[in-house]
Each structure stands twice: as C-alpha cells, then as structure tokens.
Amino acid sequence: MQYNLIRLVIPILFAFLITHCTSPIKPNQHHIIGLQPIGQYAPGQLQFIQKELHAFFKVPVVILKGKDMPVSFINRSKGERYSADTLIKWLADNAPDSITKIVGLTHKDIFTTVKENGHIKGPAASYAVWGIFGLGYQPGRSSVISDHRLQTSNIPCFKHRLRTIVIHELGHNQGLPHCPTPKCIMNDANERIQTVDQSGDTYCSLCKGKL
C-alpha cells in the first residue's frame, strides 16, 4: 500500500513542479484565468485566446458567459469609445470568486485618460479620451482588451497582436511594469502598433525574474 501511494504521489508532485517552474505566472495560489466576452465576440477568437493563454501560463483558462457592454461607459466625443478604466473596475467587481484573473474582451473601441504630473497630458483634446489596445491593473485582478485598433488583413499578424496585448496586460496584473528591453512582451507600445508587431513571444529574463 505504501509503495502504491508513493507511485501515485511522485507523478502528481512532478507535474506540479513542472507547471510552477515553467509557468510565467506567480505560483503563490491556484490560478484560473477567466475570459469575459463583452457584447458580441467572435467564438473562434475566444478559443484562440484560450488556447494561447493556457499554453503560455500553464493554468486553466475558462470562457465565461457573455455580458452586455454597459451603455453608461460610453464617451461620444470621438465617436463611440468605452472607458477602459471603468471596465476593469466593473470586471473586478463582478468576476466569479473562483476566477483569479479576469480578461475582458471586446470588439468595441476603448479609451483611457492619459495624465502627466496629475494633469491630463497635452494636448488635452487628444489625451483626455485616448484610444488604446488594452488596460490592466498593476497589480490587480482584471484587464480589458479591444481588438478595434489591432485589425489587419494579415491574419497571422492580427493573432500576434491580440496574443501580445492579452499577455502584456496579464503581466501588469501580476505587477510587471513596462520594460525597456526590446521585443519583451512588456515593452511599452508607446502609442505605436509597430512596437506590438515587433514584440517577441514571451517576457524577457528580467521580467521573468520579477515574477
């Protein structure tokens, strides 16, 4: 009986160590990443993100039941844009208790207000409602990603952009700041989609060392 128990425990322990030694996510608790579609969201795209995040983080990734985009989050000063700051708070407040990280996904355009020294960055007409790819608490539980500004007819390029932004924002959730290392996923886009296109596929060694 003792021999059979040892034979059972060793593979489980080995699998646990492999997962937590190779996963670029903090191993201090059992993680489950939840994907929250906001409004109508392409099922194939959801499945792609689910597959990529599971392969990258080595943790369960579940697709949650879709929620409508709250109409009160809209700003129409530059067309139809939704407040990313309000969305990540809403996501964190409404996530199931079993979900440790929740990623909101929308096709709608999203924005934040860019500030410098406590004031809106100039020119205020540009940065008060600044369109973005994604936003996440640093650290925190929630992030939101929009593919509105990631669109291209080049499908592999689009998938690279989407994967990069999702993993980037989840990096912020784990406490990672922007990284100066070229090609690191945590490198700041600096308002340029070209930075995203040139990104590598993972965190650099400096960022991994912070996790």
Q: Which tokens sit at 94?
A: 């409404």
- 144 close to 106: Cβ distance less than 8 angstroms: yes
In the chain, domain spans = 2-210
Q: Is 116 labeled as catalytic in the residue annotation?
A: no
- In whole angstroms, give the CA distance from residue 1 to residue 60: 32
d(Cα 113, Cα 75) in Å, to the nearest integer? 12
Provide the token pair at 27: 């191993």
Q: Is the distance from CB of 140 to CB of 173 less than 8 angstroms?
A: yes
- The parts of the chain modelled with pLDDT lower than 70 are 1-29
Per-residue model confidence (pLDDT) at position 4: 45
- As a whole number of angstroms, the distance between CA 158 and CA 167 comes to 14
Q: Which CATH class is domain 2-210?
A: alpha beta
Active-site residue (options: 52, 80, 116, 169): 169
- 10 Å CB burial of residue 144 (0-12, 13-18, 19+) is buried
For the entire predicted model, the pTM comes to: 0.87
pLDDT in tens, 132-147: 999 999 999 999 999 9
pLDDT at 22: 54
d(CA 159, CA 42): 13
